[in-house]
Amino acid sequence: MCGIVGYIGPREAYPIIIEGLKRLEYRGYDSAGVALFDGTDLKVCKTKGKVVDLENKLPTNITNTGHIGIGHTRWATHGVPNDVNSHPHYSNSGNLVIIHNGIIENYEALKKELIKRGFTFQSDTDTEVLVNLIEDVKNKENVKLGKAVQIALNQVIGAYAIAVFDKTQPKEIVIARLGSPLAVGVGKDEFFIASDASPFLEYTKDAIYLEDEEMAIIRLNRDIKIRKIKDDSLVDPYVQTLKLNLEEIEKGGFDHFMLKEIYEQPRAITDTYRGRLNRQEAIIKMSSVEDNMKKFLNADRIIIVACGTSWHAGLVAEYIFEDLARIPVEVEYASEFRYRNPIITEKDVVIAISQSGETADTLAAIKLAKSKGAFVFGVCNVVGSSIARETDAGAYTHAGPEIGVASTKAFTTQITVLYLIALRLARAKGTISSSDFRHHLLELEMIPKKVEKVLESNEHIKYIADIYKDVHNFLYLGRGYNFPVALEGALKLKEISYIHAEGYPAAEMKHGPIALIDENMPIVVIATKKGHYEKVVSNIQEIKARKGKIIGIVTEGDVDVRELADHVIEVPETLESLSPLLTTIPLQLLSYHIAVLIGKNVDQPRNLAKSVTVE
Ligand code: F6R
């Protein structure tokens, strides 16, 4: 979950690395560091904290030297976030430096062996063990860096994306990947190394994505040689031209990426159905679904695997698939699914949902499902990500880069893709009439405009946020399609404001959470007109009787809830099945404003990272 960057070529390495680290900070921001080679000497600077802390710490003479360098921004796994545990890590001789994203699971055993052989360690990290293992191999076997990395990695259990530099062979950087992403930007006589393409997009759009169990030696003014780590066979580099723009990954006038991404949702949802939904012809065209239609139609059930917000999108999809296409659905946390010996057969279709396409548990769940013969379909946002490549087929969400750590537009676009799939299957199965199908297409097409309408409530939501910003607990309630939205609203608040929040199905309130309600407890209730409205109104009465503060998310023109609630936020009317695409928006904005008002770092909340590549 760390971010790694490297450069080798004619330009000055430092600015490329430092700017690249800023773009990768979403992957972790516990500490940052760089190693730069100025032609004679290797300089390492690292610090606990963010990339800007690193910039402040760097001596001025480090900034104008060298054409080779590597940098790292860390999300701590082994060892607390402090200066010593920050990357890059030196080997004992001081000749080798390494940056690493991942976890070396057998590092303790390796460390014991290395200590017996006289190695000493400064940090608590698994990474320092790896760099010394490479050094040990290099000395013992009398081989060059590339070979030493290869031999060492064959002794390692775990996950890694690494870049290693050896000042005794200062014209190359060695990189390798297993389980953590690694891209190489290919310029003219220069190469960029990064966890994703964002650090090098302004220099080149040509990229090579290393596959698992591949390593590469990148040589100054020369070439890149890719090999399989296990059997040493050479791999032909596959250079692809990326379509991403730099503007897409910048803030565009908003104070935070999260706010920008909330506001991007009308565009993102449109991009997600564009080219797939054709209302005039009343069809949905998704080649990956058409190509595998038999598998979907013959499936005994669909199992959805995902984590976090993507899991919430999966829960919404459960309602959609069962309701429209009448296919039984189970939704599983990928982290539980992979370890509980699940019953999976060749007649199961597994849908894996992931914004980043790199979530370790989701990836492992996919591998497990595939090994049991299930057909695995991916719903990812990041093009070319590990999950996108590992699945049998899939559909991208087209949300554009999501940088804010709290997921927003990924959620609504995931629901949009899943909605399209469910509608297409419903049509194929005949579980929806042609007129209902048309009606759904029309309503879906109108969602972006309706999201724009919800966004107009921003100031009102900010006003509500100001009233409740200092409370310690929140409750979120919803029923049916909006129960997962309640979970998502609570998650958004927790992760960026650190205020405790619980999401519950509204009817479950009576079975426990009602005990929490008093005059200090704000309760967000999703009470749109079509979603078991009367039942939810009864639940609101029960809250009112206990003096809870009610923030109702209601359909435009609502009267009943308005009378009972302390505040209401209106959303336009739509089909109940599409309502999560609207009701989620005020909850995102409410969390955002509360977090900003109490001074939290919205885009980089503590302890979190955007891409969870460790289990
Ligand atoms: C919450 C959030 C996380 C992610 C989860 C899965 O705002 O961002 O809960 O949803 O880590 O990530 P992906 O979708 O990349 O697999």
Q: Which atom of ligand 1 is nearest to the CA of 308?
A: 9
pLDDT, the chain, mean: 93
pLDDT at 65: 67
232 and 294 belong to one structural domain: no
Q: Is 606 within the bounds of a domain?
A: no
Asked if 610 is an active-site residue, the reply is: yes
Task: Quote the domain boundaries for residue 121.
Answer: 3-248
Atom of ligand 1 nearest to the CA of 411: 10
Q: Is the pLDDT of residue 27 over 90?
A: no
| Mutational pocket test of ligand 1: of 257, 316, 355, 397, the residue with most ligand atoms within 8 Å of the beta carbon | 355
532 pLDDT band, cuts 50/70/90, is confident
CA nearest neighbour of 181 among 316, 359, 346: 359
Structure tokens at 463: 């006003």
- Most confident range, picked from 105-109, 132-136, 403-407: 132-136
Question: Do 17 and 76 sit in the same domain of this protein?
Answer: yes
Q: Average of pLDDT values for 548-559? A: 96
| Res. 371: pLDDT tops 90 | yes
Q: Band of the pLDDT at 64, cuts 50, 70, 90?
A: low
Tally of domains in the chain: 3
Task: Say if residue 406 is in the same domain as residue 517.
Answer: no
Look at residue 571 and give its three-state secondary structure: strand
Q: Can you tell me the mean pLDDT for 444-461?
A: 98
**H-type alpha helices, 61-220:** 107-116, 126-141, 145-153
Confidence check: pLDDT of 32 > 90: yes
Q: Which amino acid is at 66?
A: G
Distances (CA, A) of 390 to 155, 369, 435: 24, 11, 37
Domain final residue pick, 200, 231, 248: 248
Cα 612 to ligand 1 centre (Å): 8
**Is residue 310 assigned to a domain?**
yes
Same domain (yes/no): 40, 166: yes
Q: What is the C-alpha separation between 40 and 342, in angstroms, rounded?
A: 56
Q: Which residue in the list 48, 295, 494, 610 is annotated as catalytic?
A: 610
The whole-number pLDDT of residue 422 equals: 98
Q: Is the pLDDT of residue 392 over 80?
A: yes
Residue 344 within any structural domain of the chain? yes
* Residue 260 pLDDT greater than 80, yes or no: yes
pLDDT at 105 over 90: no
User: Out of 25-39, 222-236, 425-439, which region has the weakest mean confidence (pLDDT)?
Assistant: 25-39
**Pocket perturbation via mutation, ligand 1, pick of 307, 331, 588 by most ligand atoms within 8 A of CB:** 307
Q: In angstroms, rounded to a whole number, what is the distance separating the alpha carbons of residues 491 and 513? A: 17
For residue 77 and ligand 1, the question of a CB distance below 6 A is answered with no
What pLDDT does residue 177 have? 96
- For residue 607, being part of any structural domain is answered with no
Q: How far is CA 392 from CA 46, 355, 369, in A?
A: 41, 17, 11
Instruction: Judge whether 207 and 242 are in contact, CB under 8 Å.
Output: yes
User: One of 2, 45, 307, 380 is an active-site residue; which one?
Assistant: 2
State which of 309, 403, 493 you would mutate to test the pocket of ligand 1, scoring each by most atoms of that ligand within 8 A of its C-beta.
309
What CATH number did the domain enclosing 584 receive? 3.40.50.10490
Ligand 1 binding pocket includes 406 (Cβ within 6 Å):
yes
Structure tokens at 449: 């405009």
Residue 55 belongs to domain with CATH number: 3.60.20.10
pLDDT tens by residue, 265-303: 999 999 899 889 999 999 999 999 999 999 999 999 999
Q: Does ligand 1 lie within 6 Å of residue 309's CB atom?
A: yes
| Domain end point (choices 429, 455, 481) | 455
Q: Which residues contact 559 (CB under 8 A, 6 or more apart)?
A: none
Token pair, residue 128, equals 């320092």
Q: Is 314 in the pocket of ligand 1 (CB under 6 A)?
A: no
Indicate if the pLDDT at residue 63 is higher than 90. Answer: no
Q: Is 611 inside any structural domain?
A: no
Shared domain for 333 and 410, answered yes or no, is: yes
Task: Write down which residue in 430, 455, 480 finishes a domain.
Answer: 455
What is the number of the ligand 1 atom nearest to the C-alpha of 405?
8
The answer to whether position 610 is within a domain reads no
Q: What is the pLDDT of residue 407?
A: 97
Q: What is the 3-state secondary structure (H, E, C) of 314-347?
A: HHHHHHHHHHHHCCCEEEEEHHHHCCCCCCCCCC
Residue 245: its pLDDT value, please? 75
Quick one: 330 and 205 in the same domain?
no
Residue nearest atom 11 of ligand 1, based on CA coordinates: 308
Q: Which amino acid is at 136?
A: D
Ligand 1 centroid from CA 359, angstroms:
8
Q: Are residues 226 and 280 in the same domain?
A: no
Task: Indicate if 425 and 283 belong to the same structural domain.
Answer: yes
Classify 21 as helix, strand or coil.
helix
Q: Is the CB of 313 under 6 A from ligand 1?
A: no
The helix (H) or strand (E) run that includes residue 31 is strand 31-37
* Amino acid 165: pLDDT: 98
- What is d(CA 485, CA 469) in angstroms, rounded to the nearest whole number? 21
Q: What is the 354 CA–ligand 1 centroid distance (Å)?
A: 7
Tell me, in angstroms, the distance from the centre of ligand 1 to residue 166's CA.
Answer: 36
DSSP for 475-516?
A: EEEE-GGGHHHHHHHHHHHHHHH--EEEEEEGGGGGGTGGGG
| pLDDT confidence bin for 112, thresholds 50/70/90 | very high
Contacts of 463 (CB under 8 A, 6+ apart): none
> Considering the domain boundaries, does residue 445 fall inside one?
yes
Q: 145 with 32, same domain?
A: yes
Q: Is residue 605 part of a domain?
A: no
For residue 147, report the distance from its CA to the centre of ligand 1, in Å: 37
Cβ count within 10 A of residue 56: 10
Q: What is the mean pLDDT of residues 74-83?
A: 83
Comparing 611 with 463, the larger pLDDT belongs to 463
- State residue 60's pLDDT score: 67
Confidence band (pLDDT; 50, 70, 90) for 201?
very high
Whether 139 and 257 map to the same domain: the answer is no
Cα angle for residues 531, 533, 539 (degrees, 5° grid): 115
Residue 81 CA to residue 73 CA, distance in Å, equals 11
Task: Kindly state whether residues 394 and 541 are assigned to the same domain.
Answer: no
Residue closest to 21 by CA, chosen among 60, 74, 68: 74
180 and 271, same domain (yes or no): no
What is the C-alpha to C-alpha distance for residues 8 and 342, in angstroms, rounded to an integer?
Answer: 46
Q: Is the pLDDT of residue 250 over 80?
A: no
pLDDT for 339 beyond 80: yes
Residue range 235-242: mean pLDDT, rounded:
94
Any atom of ligand 1 within 6 Å of the Cβ of 307: yes
Distance of CA 585 to the CA centre of its chain: 19
Regarding the beta carbon of 386 and ligand 1, being less than 6 Å apart is answered no
